[in-house]
Chains A and B, each alone.
Chain A
């Protein structure tokens, strides 16, 4: 079994309303050097070792299930 990590983030053109508010409170708390915070989702996906085209399958899963293609994009981080 291998574990693949996938990060899902809003597309740059989509406003991250949550991240924006978290950043504001960080500023209130005194974290003055913080310029922006973006919030995403993190997935750990176990996939059987003898799978061919692991990356392709994970991409497909991400496109079809994990992300909302209208709003989000994904990055496959690494395979362990």
Chain B
């Protein structure tokens, strides 16, 4: 193919197709290069200056996240964040979105999303120990959506199951706004001896760059810019951006890299995976952190297809590839190490001492640009912010549910797709491989123990976007608290978090308002709880023909359990145990499941949170668990108290006998940060002495076949099996 000349590129404005604006192109020519870029160089800048790689729209907002803390080893800037958990160990984690690739090619899009996040963890030298995911789809009304759901779930399962990393927690929800813009956010958690942590930077003049893994093909070219563009109906050209995953090769690559880092920590000077924007992105980022430069010989790149151009090789998003920075003297031993596993391992370039990114191909220089131009000089935008009318126009009054038949409402709430049983999805994921999973999916948080210690790691993913939609600030607070609650009810102390920030077009000031405000809400809670945000990912432009998704930040929070004896699950365990409701229940129905059930939509302002009362409730839970006084503990969220009680009862098939001062409507209130716990009757007095805030003894666990519920205004007896079936079949019926 004849590539257009620099003049032709300028005249035809081809850069516009690649996502650069005319202003950005002019800035590139005038200020960064001081000449016109050639075809390959223009390709590089258009992907590296995309939102996905440069965070040009979001960086100013992301600065607001608290990212430091005494336990933080590495924060933002590395492939993943690392947090000290004592005993010389660190936990390493990150979440990443793969929304657009999954919309186009759901199976491979979701699978390669998992593959990518796993590489981010082992490129730090850490052994991946768990996966989680947060998925959002449109309503299960049409064949397309059902197919999308089933393909995404299969793709996640295929990759994780094959490579052998347990998928221990996650969430899946359904809302109209995600019909054309599904959200596929995956998180990986790794464990490492602190001294083995590997940096993603490269330095040392004369050091070599080693390419390891699969050969490079034409897959996924311009995937990164494609992730930063709105969708339109004519996305057939976007389909060429699909990558295909190979978990088998990734397993070999992972094991070889970890083996090298563990047994020869000094041999690896830097390691980075090739993710979005492939070779150019990983190599440029490696040296931009150190002020060094690179000379790359593209003829040496292992190629899967013939006649690839420089442009294609630099931008290809072929999967399962890594770049290592190594010293010359060790190169042959390291190459041998990878060849033993049948992996391609080739020296492709060298570190230089100046700020130049240079690439040669067929004896010619095809790229010669400043590294700082690619990374640091990317445009920055301070987007305007206008409070969205959607938020300001919400009615201030609380919605009042109209419950004419309590029994029916109880059953119907269990059938709601966002409430009902998700096991038909998560049981297709291997949650137990590695023989460390203590709490399986379906609880508040997934837990894996750390062998040969008394410790365990708990993980939760949370993203209730309904609240964020009604009020981005309070919504951001609520979902962060939800993560905290999920961890402490499992017996864990939260230690840090990652995020995926999924929003629409940031050039729309109302959408940018949502983005900025929800980050404020999340940061507010993080600051209060001293929780660092150590990694994360931004996915903007989640729009289809200008129909934006709900503002959807997703939190992936990690907790440390010092003593595995403290691990607590949501399930009721003995008939006769007393059931307590911890925390005050208010009339919080705006944005709730009951409001959706009764109106098909959500509306209304959210009440301000009383953080000190919330902390009081949480402290009670932490103390009770440490004193080993709780038999079970469940955080109350979507659906409210009744839903929580039902979820606690189902697994071990218990009945309940409830008598509460709350009215029937309040069974569905979603006041944040409340808990349902059970205790041994003989511990009643001591338990009550430990609870400092509002609580109510609401009943007991029974062997009966009924859920007996007496509220302030009425009494119902619900057949337990009918309730269980309604919950169990809520989704599986809709998927048929």
In the complex, A touching B (Cβ < 8 A): yes
Taking CB as reference atom, which chain A residue is nearest B245? Answer: A17
CA distance A69 to B244 in the complex (A): 14
- Structural contact, A71 and B218, CB atoms closer than 8 A: no
Q: Distance in Å from the Cβ of B293 to the closest Cβ of chain A?
A: 32
Residues of chain B from 315 to 350 with CB closer than 8 A to chain A in the complex: 318, 342
- Structural contact, B218 and A70, CB atoms closer than 8 A: no
Residues of chain B from 528 to 565 with CB closer than 8 A to chain A in the complex: none
Residues of B within 8 A of A15 (CB): 214, 217, 219, 244, 246, 304, 318
Residues of chain B from 124 to 160 with CB closer than 8 A to chain A in the complex: none
A side interface size, CB within 8 A: 11
Taking CB as reference atom, which chain A residue is nearest B304? Answer: A15
A-B interface pairs (CB < 8 A), number: 32
Residues of chain B from 238 to 255 with CB closer than 8 A to chain A in the complex: 239-240, 242, 244, 246, 248-249
- Tell me, yes or no, whether B105 is within 8 Å of chain A by CB: yes
Q: Distance in Å from the Cβ of A19 to the closest Cβ of chain B?
A: 11
Taking CB as reference atom, which chain B residue is nearest A68? Answer: B105
Residues of chain A from 1 to 59 with CB closer than 8 A to chain B in the complex: 12-15, 17, 21, 24
Taking CB as reference atom, which chain A residue is nearest B105? Answer: A70
- Tell me, yes or no, whether B420 is within 8 Å of chain A by CB: no
Q: Distance in Å from the Cβ of B630 to the closest Cβ of chain A?
A: 48
Which of A13, A17, A24, A71 touches B305 (beta carbons < 8 Å)?
A13
Residues of chain A from 57 to 80 with CB closer than 8 A to chain B in the complex: 68-71
Q: Distance in Å from the Cβ of A37 to the closest Cβ of chain B?
A: 15
Q: Distance in Å from the Cβ of B631 to the closest Cβ of chain A?
A: 48
- Tell me, yes or no, whether B40 is within 8 Å of chain A by CB: no
- Structural contact, B217 and A17, CB atoms closer than 8 A: no
Residues of A within 8 A of B240 (CB): 13
On chain B, which size bracket covers the interface?
Answer: 10 to 19
- Structural contact, A17 and B244, CB atoms closer than 8 A: yes
- Structural contact, A14 and B105, CB atoms closer than 8 A: no
- Tell me, yes or no, whether B108 is within 8 Å of chain A by CB: yes
| A70/B217 contact (C-beta < 8 A), A13-B305, A15-B246, A17-B248 known | no
CA distance A13 to B342 in the complex (A): 22
| A71/B105 contact (C-beta < 8 A), A13-B305, A17-B246, A17-B249 known | yes
- Structural contact, A24 and B342, CB atoms closer than 8 A: yes
Which of A13, A21, A24, A69 touches B217 (beta carbons < 8 Å)?
A13
B295-316: CB near A (< 8 Å → 1, else 0) gives 0000000001100000000000
Q: Distance in Å from the Cβ of B1 to the closest Cβ of chain A?
A: 14
- Tell me, yes or no, whether B104 is within 8 Å of chain A by CB: yes
| A71/B242 contact (C-beta < 8 A), A13-B217, A13-B219 known | yes
Q: Distance in Å from the Cβ of A25 to the closest Cβ of chain B?
A: 11
Residues of B within 8 A of A24 (CB): 342
CA distance A33 to B99 in the complex (A): 43
Residues of A within 8 A of B342 (CB): 24
Residues of A within 8 A of B217 (CB): 13, 15
Residues of A within 8 A of B104 (CB): 70
Q: Distance in Å from the Cβ of A28 to the closest Cβ of chain B?
A: 10
5 contacts between A and B (CB under 8 A): A13-B305, A15-B217, A17-B246, A17-B249, A70-B239
A residues with CB within 8 A of B: 12-15, 17, 21, 24, 68-71
B residues with CB within 8 A of A: 104-105, 108, 214, 217-219, 239-240, 242, 244, 246, 248-249, 304-305, 318, 342
10 nearest CB pairs, A to B: A17-B246, A70-B105, A70-B239, A70-B242, A13-B218, A15-B244, A15-B217, A14-B244, A15-B304, A13-B305
